[in-house]
Amino acid sequence: MKNEEFRLFGHRFVDWIADYFENVETFPVLSPLAPGDVRKNIPAVPPTRGEDMEAVFRDFEKVILPGMAHWQHPGWFAYFPANNSPASVLGEMLTAGLGAQCMVWKTSPAAAELEEAVLDWLSQMIGLPQGLAGVIQDSASTATLCALLSARERTTGFGSNDDGLRVPLTVYASEEAHSSIEKGVKIAGYGRKNLRRIPTDDTFALLPGRLEEAVVRDKDAGLVPACVVATVGTTSSGALDPLAPIGEVCRRHGLWLHVDAAWAGTAALLPEMRGIIDGVEAADSFVFNPHKWMLTNFDCSAYYVKDPAALVRTFEILPEYLKTGVDAKVKNYRDWGIPLGRRFRALKLWFVIRSYGVEGLQAMVREHLRLARVVEGWVVADARFELLAPVALGLVCFRLNDGRDESALNTLNQALLDRINGTGRVFLSHTTLRGKFTIRLVVGQRTTAERHVREAWDLIDSAAGELLRP
């Protein structure tokens, strides 16, 4: 492709994206296609000769677009959001254009230094303790794996890097912790059977007393407790583990405390919500995802550590071909995580923070929290529905409950969810809480406004009416 053609299509594609931002609401939120529908329209063999971009783009619209879920749709209430923004897309475009692979400072000083600076901003913005060092990872799952590996190394005096794990180490997380903890424990050498799932209270938050009991029990049995993962904003219900008493347990027993605030960390942008991370001073590591709720398109996960030396010691490998003359003076982020190669992710984050300003981001989050309260009010006011967890942030967990038995209620609520999502206007997802099928409605899309939650509630209301009609 000649540069002139690139220029023409580049302008057209930016127009296309701007139109998409304006019109995304007109698409069904989820793709209506069946498994295999996309694949059957993609030739089995690659083109021998280069094709015209016009033809490629035509197929993008014809074959690819109908197979997309529209995460940026204001009716997206499922999982947690993965919102983007014009500023972030523009930053990402420049990152792709520069095409830099930012593994060490020398391979792009601006990438390394901007990453350091922007993560310092972000730390101030959400009120983290001073002195934490930040690095961008691709996902919270990777960040948690890094934490588990660092905890393993620190606990073994950095011996397991060389010798492998000689004694079993144990890890603790609430029964509501995200599956990435279990995945991390599984692949970081601890072994899944050494993950202790700690019971939770009525709000689904970890019970620190039960944590202490589990640690003591393991110590008495000759095992070596290594790491606790506390969650601020659990995936199923948005529960907030109490960091201060958990930190006390970690201090008493010399355990690594990792805080997973993948989604909820963004809420700490609001001074009035900072309480959700009270006690975070005790954390050895902390992760939250600007790529969830903070307008920075996937991927961008902010990982903070108290002791960067422990992180670097866990990951550092120094082959001759990667040595530079300035290694002693700079941060080479290749040693701060698993991959060697690194994308320039800090650029889009910088664009977002500068474009919205702290106040702009706060205004969005504040409005989402208000809208979640509005939905909570509708659930509570309607006797057919039951709230299944406290609404601490932007997630509302509820179900229909007309008094039938639990198993029939689960079937009823699955049917309700299918009806709501079948409209194509909204997408809500589900979980189970204490065995109860739970519908989750998360307010977090950039363009979700009161009229969208109103529409969602109208759809819920009429689907419930249809299902309960005698």
Summarize as ranges the residues that interact with ligand PLP (CB under 6 A): 80, 139-141, 178, 180, 231, 233-235, 260, 262-263, 289, 301
CB of 234 to ligand PLP, least distance (A): 6
Closest to ligand PLP by CB, 115 vs 386, is: 115
Closest to ligand PLP by CB, 180 vs 194, is: 180
Closest to ligand PLP by CB, 161 vs 203, is: 203
CB of 384 to ligand PLP, least distance (A): 29
CB of 368 to ligand PLP, least distance (A): 16
Closest to ligand PLP by CB, 137 vs 160, is: 137
CB of 293 to ligand PLP, least distance (A): 10
CB of 67 to ligand PLP, least distance (A): 21
CB of 114 to ligand PLP, least distance (A): 21
Closest to ligand PLP by CB, 256 vs 385, is: 256
Closest to ligand PLP by CB, 152 vs 178, is: 178
CB of 235 to ligand PLP, least distance (A): 4
Secondary structure of the chain in HEC code, one letter for each residue: CCHHHHHHHHHHHHHHHHHHHHHHHHCCCCCCCCCCCCHHHCCCCCCCCCCCHHHHHHHHHHHHHHHCCCCCCCCECCCCCCCCCHHHHHHHHHHHHHCCCCCCHHHCHHHHHHHHHHHHHHHHHCCCCCCCEEEEECCHHHHHHHHHHHHHHHHCCCCHHHHCCCCCEEEEEECCCCHHHHHHHHHCCCCHHHEEEECECCCCCECHHHHHHHHHHHHHCCCEEEEEEEEECCCCCCCECCHHHHHHHHHHHCCEEEEECCCHHHHHHCHHHHHHHCCHHHCCEEEECHHHHCCCCCCCEEEEECCHHHHHHHHCCCCHHHCCCCCCCCCCHHHHCCCCCCCCCHHHHHHHHHHHHHHHHHHHHHHHHHHHHHHHHHHHHCCCEEECCCCCCCEEEEEECCCCCHHHHHHHHHHHHHHHHHCCCCECEEEEECCEEEEEEECCCCCCCHHHHHHHHHHHHHHHHHHHCC
Closest to ligand PLP by CB, 261 vs 417, is: 261
